[in-house]
């Protein structure tokens, strides 16, 4: 059998624990545990077990009071290869070396369980502004994040603002707040009326995706 499919699309062999098969598919070589977003598994090889929300020790990781912005996780254990994807979004790896990074909850794909993490609320945010809960990772290990479209990394050395849905990740050392722009939503964002932006100050970086996120089609009825 012959096909160009069997050329560059073959499984890539690598000794790295987290490795990109292509820009939209992640392979994790497991000999132990990893935390991953629920529903992100597209394939696996070997003997792997999946513990979903509410089972085993995973429940302690989930903050059920945070609706919409929490990280719905599954704990994957065993030996083998785990393949993850998220609606064909681009995947990027961040390696922490005793430092910290903050990630928008909807952009978390997988991470090493050795990392310390918590869900925090952006100062000054209300439930009306949306996208106000983010995940802070600290320690040594890797985090896989997703982005809708190819992102840009902005250097923050002056006041910086990003759409609430477009900010993917940023330096945890940055001070964050929510800026409200009344009456400008139809001009600078997708919505109408009031617009909200994340405001960053200090020194660090902000990863911004090339989209405000996927649009959910309206029902015709």
Q: What is the pLDDT of residues 110-128, one digit of tens each?
A: 999 999 988 887 765 555 4
Q: Could you give the 3-state DSSP secondary structure of residue 53?
A: coil
pLDDT of residue 58: 44
Q: How far apart are CA 92 and CA 79, in angstroms?
A: 23
Longest dimension (CA), the chain: 61
Among 24-28, 126-130, 211-215, the least confident range: 126-130
Mean pLDDT lowest among 28-32, 49-53, 76-80, 196-200: 49-53
Q: How confident is the model over 140-154, as pLDDT tens digits?
A: 999 999 999 999 999
pLDDT at residue 105, rounded to an integer: 87
pLDDT of res. 86: 96
Is the pLDDT score of 209 beyond 80?
yes
C-alpha distance from residue 219 to each of 48, 151, 194, 216 (Å): 39, 30, 24, 9
What six digits make up the tokens of 76? 């994957």
pLDDT at position 220 is 54
Q: 178: helix, coil or strand?
A: strand
Could you tell me how far CA 93 lies from the centroid of its own chain? 10
Please list, in sequence order, all residues whose beta carbon lies within 8 angstroms of the beta carbon of residue 217, skipping any fewer than 6 positions away: none
- What burial class does residue 159 get, using C-beta atoms within 10 Å of its C-beta: 0-12 exposed, 13-18 middle, 19+ buried? exposed
For 54, phi then psi, to 5°, come to: 85, 0
157 to 97, 127, 161, 174: CA distances (angstroms): 23, 29, 12, 10
Nearby residues of 178 by Cβ (< 8 Å), 6 or more positions away = 122, 123, 124, 125, 126, 129, 132, 164, 196, 197, 198, 199
The predicted model scores a pTM of 0.82
Beta carbons within 8 Å of 1's beta carbon, 6+ residues apart: none
How far is residue 18's CA from residue 191's CA, in Å, rounded to a whole number? 37
Q: According to the per-residue pLDDT averaged within each range, which of 67-71, 84-88, 103-107, 194-198 is highest?
A: 84-88
């Amino acid at each position: 059998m012959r096909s160009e499919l069997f050329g560059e699309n073959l499984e890539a062999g690598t000794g790295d624990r987290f490795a990109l098969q292509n820009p939209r598919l992640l392979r994790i070589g497991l000999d132990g545990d990893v935390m991953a977003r629920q529903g992100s598994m597209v394939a696996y090889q070997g003997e792997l077990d999946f513990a979903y929300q509410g089972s085993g020790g995973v429940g302690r990781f989930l903050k059920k009071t945070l609706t919409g912005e929490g990280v719905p996780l599954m704990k994957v254990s065993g030996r083998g290869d785990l393949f993850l994807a998220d609606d064909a979004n681009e995947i990027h790896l961040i390696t922490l070396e005793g430092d910290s990074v903050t990630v928008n909850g909807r952009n978390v794909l997988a991470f090493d369980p050795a990392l310390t993490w918590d869900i925090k609320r952006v100062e000054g945010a209300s439930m009306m502004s949306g996208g106000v809960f983010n995940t802070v990772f600290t320690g040594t290990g890797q985090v896989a994040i997703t982005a809708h479209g190819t992102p840009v990394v902005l250097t923050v050395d002056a006041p910086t603002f990003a759409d609430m849905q477009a900010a993917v990740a940023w330096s945890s050392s940055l001070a964050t707040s929510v800026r409200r722009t009344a009456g400008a939503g139809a001009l600078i964002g997708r919505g109408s009326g009031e617009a909200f932006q994340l405001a960053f100050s200090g020194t660090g970086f902000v990863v911004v995706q090339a989209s405000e996120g996927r649009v959910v089609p309206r029902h015709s009825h």
